[in-house]
Amino acid sequence: MKRKIVFLSGSRAEYGLMRNVIQLFKDDKDFNTLIAVTGSHLNKKFGNTVQEIINDGLKIDKELKIPLNDSSHGVSLSISKLILIFSEYLEKVKPDLLIVLGDRYEVFGAVVAAHIHNIKIAHIHGGELTEGAFDDAFRHSISKMSSIHFTACEEYRKRVIQLGEQPSSVHNVGLLGLDGITKRSFLTKSKIEEDLKFKFLKQNFLVTFHPETKLSRKENVACLEELLDSLSNFGDTRIIFTGVNADKFNAPFKKLINNFCSSNKNSLCFESLGQLRYFSCLKQVDIVIGNSSSGILEVPWFRIPTINIGNRQKGRLQGQSIINCKANSKVILSSIRRALRDYNNINKYKKSPYRLQNTANKIYKIIKRAEDLSSTKSFFDISF
């Protein structure tokens, strides 16, 4: 009898990482693989990125529409709504396993529903730290409700075990995002320019800056204004902004970035580039700037520096190509100039804590070999 698996994705970033894993299960006739989408995937303001999944030839089994609001109450409302409608979906399809990735509040809501329904959960990218975002607590909570764990490195594996998970259920499989880098052909420079309708300049920056959800709205806006003030010094540089997450305080971020691009013709903003165009752009730019996890995880493999601003990614393991700085215009400007001046030693970019390990295939094989998805969890106590 086929085992039924549901993949849940609420954002472009999650899907981009899980894409290869989903395809492996879709191609296996021993599994009935379903895809449920929610969150920003279904919102035009965030690029309606469900279309990227459809364009990859994958069928969406269920669209779970939730309200998206940039306030604390709005996020709470989104979580509660998703718990309700995902519970109804699970009651109907009765899957054997739910597979999720990361730490977003949409994933947390779905996992709460699955846990109550006694459906086993496989969690990808547990054990990590992002101390500047409330997602940190969501990630650890998701791990505690999950039965199978896939971490990006050994330190993260040990942290999941520290949460009380059985060592035999926690697998260090490497960084899933690297599969997306090595298993796809990149677009040429001219093809990117044709698709996105702009020309690269001699010098190019890619910027992704999200709110720090532990800060107030006023503090977040001030941080972004400091970043934009520093970027205004590079009028001869192509500056490419990617869209803001559907987090608290995303609305003023969108407005400020759009206003900046309107006033600075060298700057452009795209709600979603999609994984292929995003990675292809990384082949052409000189620096990545902002506070996205991608700047820490995948960007070093393109052997370009990352300017990581603020505390959103604080706690993640980092390679030597990361320059950390506070959200101050002068400090950001100094960090950018340092990167342009000093980061020409290619050996710096070989030292990353994340390794290429054919991650998608490992995840697929471990789940395929799991004979019993109904076994009860027990807490693992560490001997002190």
**26 located within any domain:** yes
Residue type, 216: S
Q: Same structural domain for residues 124 and 211?
A: no
Residue whose entry in the numeric block shows the structure tokens 């693992």: 380
Domain total for the chain?
A: 2
Burial class (CB in 10 A: 0-12, 13-18, 19+), 371: exposed
Sign of the alpha-carbon dihedral angle for 184, 187, 189, 195: negative
Q: Same structural domain for residues 223 and 320?
A: yes
Q: With CA atoms as reference, report the closest residue to 98 among 175, 9, 228.
A: 9
* DSSP 8-state code for residue 27: T
pLDDT digits (tens, 9 = 90+) for 103-113: 999 999 999 99
**80 located within any domain:** yes
Q: Same structural domain for residues 163 and 37?
A: yes
Residue spans of beta strands (DSSP E) within the chain: 3-9, 31-38, 62-64, 97-101, 120-124, 148-151, 170-172, 204-208, 238-242, 267-270, 287-290, 306-309, 322-325
Q: Same structural domain for residues 138 and 38?
A: yes
What DSSP string runs through 320-350? Answer: TTEEEE-S-HHHHHHHHHHHHHH---GGGGG
Q: Same structural domain for residues 213 and 144?
A: no
Q: Same structural domain for residues 249 and 343?
A: yes
pTM above 0.95, yes or no: no
Collapse the DSSP code of 119 into the 3-class scheme (helix H, G, I; strand E, B; otherwise coil) and give the result.
coil
**377 located within any domain:** no
Distance CA 272, CA 39 (A): 14
pLDDT digits (tens, 9 = 90+) for 181-220: 877 789 999 999 999 999 999 999 999 999 998 889 999 9
Q: Same structural domain for residues 138 and 209?
A: no
- Measure the CA angle with vertex 61, ends 7 and 127; round to 5°: 15
Token pair of 311 as six digits:
């505390």
Distance CA 325, CA 214 (A): 18
**379 located within any domain:** no
Predicted pLDDT of residue 354: 83
Collapse the DSSP code of 186 into the 3-class scheme (helix H, G, I; strand E, B; otherwise coil) and give the result.
coil
**150 located within any domain:** yes
Q: Same structural domain for residues 77 and 141?
A: yes
Q: Same structural domain for residues 210 and 259?
A: yes
Distance CA 214, CA 212 (A): 6
Q: Same structural domain for residues 230 and 127?
A: no
- Beta bridge partners of residue 323, listed in sequence order: 307
- Report the CATH number that the domain containing residue 253 is assigned in CATH: 3.40.50.2000
Q: With CA atoms as reference, report the closest residue to 41 among 13, 71, 78, 79.
A: 13
Contact of 75 with 105, CB cutoff 8 Å? yes
**183 located within any domain:** no
Predicted pLDDT of residue 349: 52
Q: Same structural domain for residues 147 and 198?
A: no
- What residues of the chain score a pLDDT lower than 70? 343-351, 371-375, 384
Distance CA 245, CA 210 (A): 6
Distance CA 241, CA 258 (A): 9
Q: Same structural domain for residues 196 and 315?
A: yes
**236 located within any domain:** yes
* Residue 37 CA to its chain's centroid (Å): 15
Phi and psi of 101, rounded to 5°? -135, 135
Predicted pLDDT of residue 13: 85
**184 located within any domain:** no
Q: Which domain holds residue 125?
A: 3-174+357-369
